[in-house]
Amino acid sequence: AAKKKAEEAAALKSQVKELQEAFEAAGAGSVEAAQSDGELKAQVAELQAQVESAEAKAAAAASPVPMGANDAEVAELREHVAELEEALRAAEDTAAGAPVGGSGDGSSQLAEEAAALRAQVAELQAQVESAEAKAAAAASAAPMGANDAEVAELREHVAELEEALRAAEDTAAGAPAGGSGDGSSQLAEEAAALRAQVAELQAQVESAEAKGEVLQRAESAALVTEEVAALRAQVHELEAALKAETQRPVAEAKGDVAEGNTAADFQAEIEKLREEKHALLETFNTNKKKLMAASRKKIEESASQVQEAQQHVSARTAQAEAAEAQLQEVERQRDTLREQVTAFKEQFPAIEQEVAELSEAKAEAEALAARLQEEVQEERHATAPLRHQVESLRGELETLHGEMFTSQEGLLGVAPGEGDPDDPEQLKRHVRQLQGEAKLMMTQLGEEQAKVSAFRLQMEEMGYGGGAGVQSADTAALQAEAAELRASNEQLKTDMENIKKRFMAAAKKKQQEYMDKVKEVGGGEAHGQIPGSYGS
pLDDT score of 32: 39
pLDDT score of 18: 64
Residues of the chain with pLDDT under 50: 26-40, 58, 61-69, 98-104, 107, 139-146, 175-181, 218, 257-258, 407-419, 466-471, 524-536
In this structure, are residues 225 and 65 in contact, taking their beta carbons and an 8 Å threshold? yes
* Three-state secondary-structure class, residue 135: helix
Whole-number Å distance between alpha carbons of 69 and 66: 9
Residue 439 class from Cβ within 10 Å (0-12 exposed, 13-18 middle, 19+ buried)?
A: exposed
Whole-number Å distance between alpha carbons of 12 and 312: 13
Residue 149 class from Cβ within 10 Å (0-12 exposed, 13-18 middle, 19+ buried)?
A: middle
Question: How far is CA 145 from each of CA 30, 73, 105, 152, 177, rounded to the nearest angstrom?
Answer: 19, 12, 48, 12, 52
Beta strands in 383-423 (DSSP E): none
In this structure, are residues 28 and 339 in contact, taking their beta carbons and an 8 Å threshold? no
Which residues, in sequence order, are CB contacts of 238 under 8 Å at separation 6+?
197, 198, 201, 280
Whole-number Å distance between alpha carbons of 295 and 217: 9
In this structure, are residues 445 and 493 in contact, taking their beta carbons and an 8 Å threshold? yes
HSE-CB at 381 with a 13 A cutoff on CA atoms is 5
- Cβ atoms within 10 Å, residue 109: 26
Question: How far is CA 520 from each of CA 74, 198, 262, 515, 525, rounded to the nearest angstrom?
Answer: 176, 183, 205, 9, 9
HSE-CB at 394 with a 13 A cutoff on CA atoms is 15
Whole-number Å distance between alpha carbons of 344 and 418: 91
Whole-number Å distance between alpha carbons of 35 and 16: 10
- Cβ atoms within 10 Å, residue 285: 11
Instruction: Look at residues 172, 201, 21, 15 and name the one whose alpha carbon lies nearest to residue 89.
Output: 172
pTM of the entire predicted model: 0.22
Q: Where are the alpha helices (DSSP H) in 174-262?
A: 181-215, 221-259
**Torsion sign across C-alpha atoms 341, 347, 348, 349:** positive
In this structure, are residues 440 and 434 in contact, taking their beta carbons and an 8 Å threshold? no
pLDDT score of 329: 92
Whole-number Å distance between alpha carbons of 471 and 151: 107
What is the dihedral angle through the alpha carbons of 522, 526, 531, 534, rounded to the nearest 10 degrees? 90
Residue type, 471: Q
pLDDT score of 332: 92
Rounded to the nearest 5°, which phi and psi values hold at 450? -65, -40
Where do the domains of the chain lie? 8-51, 64-174, 407-535
- Cβ atoms within 10 Å, residue 131: 23
Whole-number Å distance between alpha carbons of 250 and 256: 10
